[in-house]
Amino acid sequence: MSSETFIEKIGRQQVEKGLISSRIRTKEMKEDVVLEVINLKKFFNIPIPFETTWFMLAFVAAVVVFAFNITIGLSIMGGVVVLYFLLPNIPPFNKRPKVAHLKAVDGIDLHIRRGKIVGLVGESGCGKSTAAKTIIRLLEPTAGSVYFKGIDINRLTSVEMKEIRRHLQIVFQDPYASLNPRATAHDIIIEPFAIHGVASGDEASYKVLSLLKDVGLAPHHAYRYPHEFSGGQRQRLGIARALALEPDFIVMDEPVSNLDVSVRAAIIQLILELQHKMGLTYLFIAHDLSLVKILCDETNVMYLGKIMESGTSDEIFENMMHPYTKALISAVPIADPTKRSKKIFLTGDIPTPINPPPGCKFQTRCPLVSDICRLEEPPARWYSKSHVAYCHNIEGGEESPEAYVK
Amino acid sequence: MSRPPEDVLLEIKGLKTYFFTEEGVVKAIESIDILVHKSETLGLVGESGSGKSVTALSILGIVPDPPGKILEGEVIFHGQDLRKLSDADMRKIRGNQIAMIFQDPMTSLNPVFTVGDQISEAIILHQKVTKKEAREKSIKIMSLVGIPSADERVDNYPFEFSGGMRQRVMIAMALSCNPELLIADEPSTSLDVTIQAQILELLKATSEEFDMSIILITHDMGVIAEMCDRVAVMYAGFICEVGDIIIIFKSPYHPYTRGLLGAIPRPDAAREDLTIIRGAIPNLINPPSACRFHPRCDYWMEGLCDTILPSIVTIEPGHDVRCHIYTEEGKAWMQQHGEKREISTMPKKATG
């Protein structure tokens, strides 16, 4: 297939230019890694407005003087304005930085093998969705690299990126906001064909119908508008659009959290069915842990832009090590009244990711917190080849995964 | 499992609430019978649009009118029918003996008053206290529901609180007059799991402390399993099944209850155990005839379920089901057609 050779060509060029090491490419081929994310960071710069209280007071005073004596009033006003621009740099007025960093994603690593469903879980505001968008380069990362099939997608030109986009798709959380209300289902699904010149005319329309069938919609749905569909049907439409270009990798950004319970199960079954049929690889983002437990092969627990613990789903749910994972899992209500669990309660809410304190991100709510957590980033502790937790105060584990490779 | 009649706090009999809209009459609640005992937590569960919230509004007599109207039924609280009370008498009960927490704490708190003012309002309305005493009481109740430094935060406005804290303010407001019955309409749906666990624990603790009954409305079977003593399953304006929590989760009798439980990931269940309920909840302007669940039901008895509404069958005291599988008509149909309809049990792993 021509697209395969395109990826290979880009990969070869990147190695030749010295942009990526050949290690990544051989690793990809050997372990069948579809996507490798290394130390990915995404910061948003938020301008902080000046605190104008002192300035306003001084200016009002100047206006009062101005009423009695124009010359003195004007010169005081001038002085106040000059001070306003100088003082923020002079103690004690320089406490505020002009820009705050919102560290939405602060260095995450992911390793996604072909045909796997990898879960990314965490509370709202922990950066899951930003991570997803940064991984498929809908947002430009602040630092770090994303290797898709051994090529560094952040170094591609926009023309090259367009080719790669066909293989990286996303299904958004809100099926009400992510579909164009003025386009019919047919128009929505046919758009990718037109953009990539895959098919046109009758052939494209035929493909649309077969995609609708794949996601469990009927042919007569093709000429309906999004508002004529229910929430579950809309999400099916979103999935059909993502499938249109036969991608290898799909990010599922909370695809079922806005849906009703019974519809939720149907969409999950569809997602699994399509994976079997088309050999897809998913990054599944969710906050519903009971769903992640049964759906995902591997699970990554995220908190304030950092991965706290990652491993296979069995390791995470049966043998969790990190205090945050423990609290998060114990908080999930279990649908079995005979097993009312004892819960670990976290105090307070998730703090803001703007200018976070040094050390461990979880320090403000952690039941095990000690002095070192406030100073140093927690080290990795490996409990198996795939199971790692980042914490100062948990016991056991090895310093590197190599200890488990023989 | 049934309790003596003097233990009953609230009884709803044959409640019927319709909404008269321009598109047609929305038959939101057709016939509802619910019993709530003293210091018991009753779960009301169902998909969105099944009439859970309208039931809550009907109990308190605050169905928006127009377009809504309670047509029939009795809401008996402490032996008196709330529907026959005058507006003034009803106001004395509302917020005092029966309180409610709404789903979205941001829209149900008034943004232009401090939370202290809003909590005090209920106290001043129902108790003979001065403003100052009401404020002190507000601070006390705020710290009781776990709001740190309540004496400062009492003067904050709702936007200065996080989602979880706002829900705590709502709970404080509801608890301020020591109600006997608390109706909690999806109290934790818009919150994160860790915050949800805190709020549910708070509700549990306060219900024990105040000896209060709770009607907990949610669509999350997990929350029901954690919190409730009994559960009522609602579908399109009817109660399908009501019974003790452990019995309902272990061996549901109604096909809809079975479907709801199959559609959620249960502990120890595998991917394959997830089952689907076909179709979607019907439009209640033109609901399906007789048993409203029949178009989605795997056990549909043709000619019966779509013509005759099943009556309520008591499986054992306290466990009622509204389904033809257990009625005399249904048994006659099965004999006549030579087909057997039996609810399959839950997946093995999940019941263990």
Say yes or no for a CB contact (<8 Å) between B197 and A343: yes
A345 CB-contact burial (10 Å; exposed 0-12 / middle 13-18 / buried 19+) = middle
The CATH homologous superfamily of the domain defined by A3-45+102-298: P-loop containing nucleotide triphosphate hydrolases (3.40.50.300)
B199: nearest CA partner in chain A: A345
Residues of chain A contacting residue B298, judged by C-beta atoms under 8 Å apart: none
Q: State whether residue B346 sits within 8 Å of chain A by CB.
A: no
CA distance A18 to chain B (A): 44
- The answer to whether residue A273 neighbours chain B at the CB level (below 8 Å) is no
Burial class (CB in 10 A: 0-12, 13-18, 19+), A55: middle
Of A124, A261, A269, the CB nearest to B47: A261
How near does any CA of chain A get to the CA of B245, in Å? 7
Between B295 and A80, name the one with better pLDDT: B295
Say if residues B154 and B138 touch (Cβ distance below 8 Å).
Answer: yes
In A, minimum Cα distance to B346 occurs at: A336
Give A327-336 pLDDT, tens digit per residue: 998 888 888 8
Name every chain A residue with its beta carbon within 8 A of the beta carbon of B222: 290, 332-335
- Assembly ipTM: 0.81
Q: In the predicted model, what is the mean pLDDT of chain A?
A: 85
B62 Cβ under 8 Å from any chain A Cβ: no
Find the angle CA(B27)-CA(B12)-CA(B76) to the nearest 5 degrees: 130
Most distant CA atoms of chain A, gap in Å: 88
Q: How much is the average pLDDT of B110-132?
A: 90
Tens digits of per-residue pLDDT, B68-116? 899 999 999 988 899 888 889 988 888 889 999 988 777 888 999 999 9
Please check whether residue A158 touches B, CB under 8 A: no
Q: Is A345 on the interface with B (CB under 8 A)?
A: yes
3-state SS class at A235: helix
Test the B interface: residue of A284, A349, A365 with most B CBs within 10 Å:
A349
Mean pLDDT of A234-243: 92
Q: φ, ψ for residue B100 (rounded to 5)?
A: -135, 145
The size of the A-B interface in CB pairs under 8 A is: 118
| pLDDT reading at B350 higher than 60 | no
What does the pLDDT average to over A65-83? 84
**CA separation for the pair A118, A300 (Å, rounded):** 8
DSSP state for residue B217 in the 8-state scheme: E
The domain limits of chain A are 3-45+102-298, 49-96, 326-404
Q: Is the pLDDT of residue B140 over 60?
A: yes
Sequence-separated contacts (24+) of A28-34 with Cβ below 8 Å: A28/A147, A28/A149, A28/A150, A29/A150, A31/A113, A32/A113, A32/A114, A33/A111, A33/A112, A33/A113, A33/A114, A33/A147, A34/A112, A34/A113, A34/A114, A34/A148, A34/A149, A34/A248, A34/A249, A34/A281
Q: Which residue of A has its CA nearest to B257?
A: A262
For residue A1, name the pLDDT band (cuts at 50, 70, 90). very low
CB contact under 8 A, A265 and B220: no
Q: Is A124 on the interface with B (CB under 8 A)?
A: yes
Say which residue the tokens 């300035």 belong to. Answer: A55
Chain A touched by B221 (CB under 8 Å) = yes
In this prediction, residue B351 carries a pLDDT of 37
Residue B347 has pLDDT above 60, yes or no: no
Q: Which of A54-63, A294-303, B231-240, B249-258 has the lowest mean pLDDT?
A: A54-63
